[in-house]
Chains A and B, each alone.
Chain A
Amino acid sequence: MSFERIKEKLNILADAAKYDVSCSSSGSDRTNTNKGLGNATPMGICHSYTEDGRCISLLKILLTNHCIFDCAYCVTRKSNDIKRAAFKIQEVVDLTINFYRRNYIEGLFLSSGIFKSPDHTMERLVAVAKKLRLDKNYNGYIHLKSIPGASDELMYEAGLYADRLSVNIEVPTISGLKLLAPDKKHEDFTKPMRKVQHEIVRYKAEKRIIKSTPKFAPAGQSTQMIIGATGETDKDIMYSAHHYYTQYQMRRVYYSGYVPVAEDSRLPAIGSQVPMLRENRLYQTDWLLRFYGFGVQEILNNEHPNLDMDVDPKLGWALRNLHLFPIDINRADKGMLARIPGVGMQSVGKILNARRFRKLNWGHLKKIGIALNRAKYFIICDSNQWENHELEPQKIKGIILKNSVGKFRKNYSSQLQLFN
């Protein structure tokens, strides 16, 4: 194997794949069989981190960056003048195995530009996974991209070898899709998703009856949306995410602040700032929906189509619903505890455990690790000292912002800077 040639290809094809945000290696529990190589740990492992602070868990590459489509947001689109390359199947297999044996990675994330036809491309992706599983007895993690428009038969085969499958819907609204990716239809994205979802449900049902039923995409499906490319509201994004969580049982929806990669009148210009704060707020909302028991309508609705930029979504919600507070730490149920700003699910668990032994006061709460600077306006505990709960929402927000720092603060501070 010529290392120089491989290096060149790896540079091109890893560079093009990096805009896929997903790098999780969790959610699968494949064990090592027949003294083979590797296993998948349910919690996943990040082996390294990029300089922009994202996890590197998988070898994330494209099989090729040749593409017949011309989607405006994509760096590998047909009309973009960039270097093109393609890996051979064997090269990807060797690279994966050798990286894996050195404990560099948890597994492979294989995506591809679409060459010739969707089916032709999907077939090659499946071939890589199949070779790893059957020839190399490899039990590590494999994430395959479902190519929009791929046939049901190929999607079925992909699920047999991969741990996770994903289709990036990229543009959260159908009108946006028409504008930016005129060659693709909305159905091309949802059809493979639907097929995989049905198969997962079917395999799970069979597994209940026959223990030896093989795994089918044990880490489920995920998808990704680009943020800030088509002028959509936060409500559009989160309602769409909610749709995919409930209708397609997605494990994760990823939000990716649009990084300008091309001069195009339909898109933000090259050099414009990546909406990282907005991305952060969307992830916070996503967590509130998945782990904190919030409904999407509670946080985003017609009166509030966008998230607050200056405070986190939970604090924003609490300030709009002050009539529900203060909450008694020593009495409230789990669901209400989770709604207190500054209290995370870890702290909720600790509070529930600790209050069985004694009534909790400010000292206990501080040691447990809740963010009292935010929480203290919304709770009472075993103490006769508490914050004045008669304050107006604006006033509370003002005090909290004044007494805290945030790395994004400069982006939205309306106060005039004295020295600058």
Chain B
Amino acid sequence: MDNTRILIYDGSFNGFLTAVFKAFEERINVADIQRNGQAQNALFSDTEIIFTQMDKAKRVWNGVQNKSNTAIKNIYFAFLSEHKGIELLLYRYIQKLFASQVSVHSDYSDTIVLKISQLAKNVGREKHRMEAFVRFQLTKDAIYFANIEPDFNVLPLISKHFRSRYVDQHWLIYDIKRKYGLYYNLQTVEIVSLNLNEVYANSIHKSDRFLGEEYSYQDLWANYFRSTHIKSRINKKLHTQHIPKRYWKYLSEKKQAV
């Protein structure tokens, strides 16, 4: 019997890992793994909906981790890239890992391995950028608030950084594109979704949700930023290479330029 199927999962990482588990267990000939809501009908394959099961997901995670720590990190990072067709690529990658005794994750002459490691690298770069480009604004409720709009879904990755740095202040980082955020309440970080009817970019327009002092500090910062330029060495190309224009909207020092 031809066991070709398209697996549909709920979009979470654990859901994906459950699908991988299922595919291995039932020896499914996987035609594709698709996110619920983005699934496309295929003519010649059956589809199957996968329900996320934490214990199954955990087993795949542990299995890969036993093979290599780098591999599990690469898989998680590459998954968060939301790259089109990433699920199938990762499935093939995991197949490769389990099929071999040696650590295939460092075989950079293999197309899939190289692609996964490059995607993971891109996501890692975006994570690092977000750790740098988040600009908190102090609200009247004494919460340090920031909007972001990253290319990849990096919020889960930056949580630890902000948690271990800003231990003594309430903060909230909100991903506008994916409509969820992280809120730290001095004890733990929780995932929140808000009804933002206004994007609080660091714009010239002042919102009354922030303290007046907040705008003074933004002003000081923008001012400091301007005085660091060395006129005789201006290199705008290098500047935008480091801070691509898509991030400017949320950087208070660049608000005049937007």
Chain A interface (Cβ < 8 Å from any Cβ of B): 3, 6-7, 10-11, 14-15, 18-19, 31-32, 35-39, 41, 45-56, 59-60, 95, 98-99, 101-104, 137, 257, 259-260, 274, 276, 350, 353-358, 360, 364, 367-368
Which positions 70-92 of chain B face chain A at CB distance < 8 Å? none
19 other A-B residue contacts (CB within 8 Å) besides A48-B253, A95-B220? A14-B227, A15-B227, A18-B230, A19-B230, A39-B164, A39-B165, A48-B132, A48-B251, A51-B229, A51-B235, A52-B230, A52-B239, A99-B220, A102-B136, A103-B134, A103-B135, A259-B232, A350-B108, A354-B107
Min Cβ gap B97→A in Å is 14
In the complex, which of the residues A18, A54, A101 contacts B169, with contact meaning CB atoms closer than 8 Å?
A101
Q: Is B205 an interface residue (CB 8 A)?
A: no
Q: Is B191 an interface residue (CB 8 A)?
A: no
Contact status of A53 and B135, CB under 8 A, knowing A14-B224, A274-B232: no
Contact status of A3 and B128, CB under 8 A, knowing A36-B167, A357-B110: no
**B 100-130 binary contact with A (CB < 8 Å = 1; else 0):** 0010101111110010000000000000100
Nearest B residue to A49 via CB reads B242
**B 227-257 binary contact with A (CB < 8 Å = 1; else 0):** 1111011111011011100000001110000
In the complex, which of the residues A39, A46, A101 contacts B136, with contact meaning CB atoms closer than 8 Å?
A101
Sampled A-B contacts (15; CB under 8 Å): A3-B216, A10-B220, A10-B224, A11-B227, A18-B228, A45-B128, A46-B242, A49-B242, A49-B243, A51-B239, A52-B229, A59-B224, A354-B108, A356-B106, A358-B109
| Interface residue range, chain B | 35 or more
Q: Is B133 an interface residue (CB 8 A)?
A: yes
Contact status of A50 and B166, CB under 8 A, knowing A350-B108, A353-B107, A354-B107: no
Contacts of A48 in B (CB 8 A): 132, 225, 243, 251, 253
In the complex, which of the residues A46, A99, A364 contacts B221, with contact meaning CB atoms closer than 8 Å?
A99
In the complex, which of the residues A14, A36, A50, A367 contacts B239, with contact meaning CB atoms closer than 8 Å?
A50
- Asked if B165 and A32 sit within 8 Å, CB to CB, the answer is yes
Which positions 174-205 of chain B face chain A at CB distance < 8 Å? none
Chain B interface (Cβ < 8 Å from any Cβ of A): 102, 104, 106-111, 114, 128, 131-138, 144, 146, 161, 164-169, 216-217, 219-221, 223-225, 227-230, 232-236, 238-239, 241-243, 251-253
